[in-house]
Chain A
Amino acid sequence: MRHIISVLLENEAGALSRVAGLFSARGYNIESLTVAPTDDPSLSRMTLVTTGNEHVIEQIKKQLHKLIDTVKLLDLSEGTHIEREMMLIKVRAEGPDREELKRLADIFRAKIIDVTDTSYVVELTGSSSKLDAYIEAVPEGRIIEVVRSGPTGIARGPKGLSL
């Protein structure tokens, strides 16, 4: 089963490689991993998406927690939460495609943020499946480049993952 796990880490050099190393050393799946400092510059927040059975996920959480740099950890999948991923996608936009791709961006509430005679860069935010759907919808052969951030997430409700 897919899990999305948020981790508050000490913002130390090497913290990211400890997490990445843990996943490779123990053979855990890792679908995506994003990390950036928080409002408190001494803390980084990492969001990682992984898959595994209940037993594996339990071990992943314990092993993450065991890392000395880990301050707090939350499995967002255990409660209601919001997930968002951002995508920048560069598409070939020539002739009749220009209108078609513009309409597609409107339908998906995406933004066109760069325009040349032959291309658009489209920015799209949403769930990972929405981003997948957009990619599917782009006419065959028009995609030049896809950049995805990997999902980030936050729990619903007033409680926060903070110190």
Chain B
Amino acid sequence: MELSGAEIVVQALIDEGVEYVFGYPGGAVLHIYDALFHQDRIRHILVRHEQGATHAADGYARSTGKCGVCLVTSGPGATNAVTGIATAYMDSIPLVVLTGQVPTPVIGSDAFQEVDTVGITRPCVKHNFLVKDRKELALTIRKAFYIATSGRPGPVVVDIPKDVTDPNIRIPYDYPKEIQMRSYNPAKRGHLGQIKKAVEAILQAKRPIFYTGGGVILGEASQRLRELVALTGFPITSTLMGLGAYPASDQKFLGMLGMHGTYEANMAMHEADTLIAIGARFDDRVTGKIEHFSPHAKIIHIDIDPSSISKNVRVDIPIVGPVDSVLADMLRLLREQDMRPDQQALADWWNQIERWRARQCLAYDRNSQRIKPQFAVETLYKVTQGNLYLTSDVGQHQMFAAQFYPFEEPRRWINSGGLGTMGFGLPAAVGVQLAHPDAQVACISGEASILMCIQELATCKQYDLPLKIILLNNGYMGMVRQWQEFFYESRYSHSYVDALPDFVRLAESFGHVGMRIERPADLEPAMREAFSRRDQLVFLDVVVDPTENVYPMIEAGKGHHEMHLSPDRELA
């Protein structure tokens, strides 16, 4: 088969089994767009801004486990995509981002729409390529998918100069089936000796806790994690990124840990003697002040990425390997053992945890005349019963959703944890809805975040995506306002979002349904109506209490035991 460079790009995507390409055309990628026009295997989704393309591909990837694919043009197309690439990089999401580049003879001449895409994206990709020879195209795209999806996943950029895709020059095409790279060999299994050591530590634990992260979801290890928790009877807490890997409704689940984690989760982390970290990376929002982090614990850390181990916190028993395979080995070794952990110690530990849990750290004023954001999230759960993919933007609403929406399954909670990208939620929901056309998909957002990628409402209209947008409108950049209240004596410097649009009419102008809800009693009926509109995007502008803060809270630089529970319930 002889194909042009542009056709090779498209055929390679077909051979990778790509369903959707999220993109935006421009000069440098016009040959590729013409090749797309001549086929019907891949569906191209036209976004309204390249940032939206990367977030939509990201949402697709997070909700399916498959690789997300974007196609953008050179120069501003590529720079607009950078935020989305960095977002995916921080959360280890597999993306292949194809960027157009100016023709090879003019690279370096400051040509129209030229930027050094490989240089700009280098620090926020797992790897990137500039393809200068059409003969390298197929192999490079194969490598890009392999690198993006294997080991610790991440985004890979393939920068393609326009002349390389010239439709008039055809070369033989053969897509490589297998790929071997001498310089890249991610771990296939954990070291059995290390796993045995970890099992011994687990058997000797008196105050153990599982601390699990997004790696459990990325590594498809939710089932094994559930078995391991059931077998040991140990408590478990999760990072923001790991929610859903373990069912939130289970008694052994202590809720999220970290800066806005639950009292019981953070106190258990602080008092634990054995910490089993699985697919988590000891992020500063989780650990708080490192010197106070889990001071008594022997730490076991399972991660596919060796550089995650002992990066922030010294680990006693490191295990490098795919989480699922390591947990399988652990389960097997534990089942072969006759010994069980000290059951009396474990019972005492649970008693202690239940005393912490009894503090009800997530309590809020349920009699308020205003809609509390917590109440809004609880109502969302009441209406959807967990039968939902929920994307989020970044800020207070994100934390309230993480705290109050109990996720039972992996890949249901989709948010930008590492980079904290405002504007992520709406385009991510586009990708999620396309991946799951019959599922209920909602985006929880704030009036500040939503405006950062509001243009994607047009994409939703073009492809008839019946998302539900739950806007918790408090008239402030809520998390910024909260920090200013706590740490800057309530000087609300530029956190007040003046001149907000009329969101109902805004939604309507894009061809969607808008509703504004101001009273608690109206919320549930409105949500029920919104979800009953199976074919329409409904934008719920929910006016919430502007003074509400996210509790519990550990200030940056404090330890897990130094939590604020509420304005009148200071410290633990």
Contact = CB atoms under 8 A, between A and B. Distances in A.
Interface of A: 9-10, 13-14, 17-18, 21, 25, 55, 58-59, 62-63, 65-66, 68-71, 163
A21 B123 contact: yes
Given A14-B118, A71-B183, A58 B310 contact: yes
B147 interface: yes
B372 interface: no
B122 A66 contact: no
Nearest to B184: A68
A18 B127 CA distance: 9
B122 A68 contact: no
Nearest to B119: A17
B144 to A, nearest CB: 11
Contacts of B311: 59, 62
Contacts of B182: 71, 163
- DSSP majority for the A interface? helix
Contacts of A59: 307, 310-311
A21 B130 CA distance: 17
Contacts of B314: 55
A62 B183 contact: no
B307 A66 contact: yes
25 contacts: A9-B183, A10-B183, A14-B122, A14-B130, A17-B119, A21-B122, A21-B123, A55-B314, A58-B310, A59-B310, A59-B311, A62-B306, A62-B309, A65-B306, A66-B305, A66-B306, A68-B126, A68-B127, A68-B147, A68-B183, A68-B184, A69-B183, A70-B183, A71-B183, A163-B182
Contact of A25 (B123, B181, B183): B123
A21 B183 CA distance: 19
A17 B119 CA distance: 8
Interface string B200-229: 000000000000000000000000000000
A18 B184 contact: no
Contacts of B309: 62
B147 A13 contact: no
Q: Which 4 A-B pairs have the closest CB atoms?
A: A62-B307, A68-B127, A71-B183, A25-B123
Contacts of A71: 182-183
Nearest to B185: A71
A3 B307 CA distance: 18
A14 B118 CA distance: 9
Interface string B116-147: 00110011001100100000000000000001
